[in-house]
Structure 1
């Protein structure tokens, strides 16, 4: 991936991460533009098949998790898996594997930090007997997906 394309990917990821942290959602318009951009880039470089395989291999497990337990993983995360899976695949198989494995680990670490912070403050945990019915999920997964992908693309 060219430096300019990578910088655009990073800027897009930062924007999505900020929105996901603050609004707890990933807008369809932004995930769609990202998918079109990454797949368009792949087409222009003659690597569309690689990008599509990477997108499918990441999106399918995310979709399965979302269908089994929608509260565990949002539809926005499933849609975000398309461009991030494609982008990671364009960086090579090792980058794709690292991105796919690191994202859930980063979210788990962030959730443990939030849980620990809440317990230190005396806030009720999510596993309390009667959690508030409208409690949002503790940690959005989109930022971890983005961070894992852009980091893996550089390191792998």
Structure 2
């Protein structure tokens, strides 16, 4: 499978995740788990398995800790999505992983401020920010 095909698959996965999280305010296992497994398999097949696994475990651990401390602030779906996001960005190096890990919460916080000013809504989904940050950070390496 070529890089372009992989990119289209990942972006399609990100679009589905984002749409579902915005619409339903949750990320189901049937969307998060297969994507994470596919990314880990791709990374292993391309010789990037170890950094992808390290990225997946690291981001998962951070998100899990936040979820356990403040479950209302970060859902379990976001924790599971962190596996795939961490694997994808980790496969491209610590700098890509770090950029995505820091950017996602900043984007969500910025959106929360805008939403809070413009409506009575009290929460914003974090999944779309995770996907956008990962796509942007990865694109910086690939383009």
TM-score for both structures, normalised by structure 2: 0.93
After superposition, residues 49-64 of structure 1 pair within 5 angstroms as 49-64=50-65
Does 1:33 find its partner at 2:18? no
Does 1:102 find its partner at 2:87? no
Q: Matched residues in 1 for 2:4 and 2:133: separation?
A: 18
- Which residue in 2 is equivalent to 1:134? none
Does 1:149 find its partner at 2:127? no
Structure with higher helix content? 2
Moved over 6 A (4+): none
Q: Matched residues in 1 for 2:138 and 2:96: separation?
A: 5
After superposition, residues 58-137 of structure 1 pair within 5 angstroms as 58-118=59-119, 123=120, 126=122
Deviates more, 1:146-155 or 1:40-49: 40-49
1:42, distance to aligned residue in structure 2 (A): 1.0
Structure 2: runs of 5+ lacking an equivalent: none
TM-score for both structures, normalised by structure 1: 0.86
After superposition, residues 6-45 of structure 1 pair within 5 angstroms as 6-45=7-46
1:66, distance to aligned residue in structure 2 (A): 0.4
Q: Matched residues in 2 for 1:97 and 1:68: separation?
A: 22
Greater Rg by CA: 1
CA RMSD of aligned residues (A): 1.4
1:3, distance to aligned residue in structure 2 (A): 2.0
Count of aligned pairs between the two proteins? 140
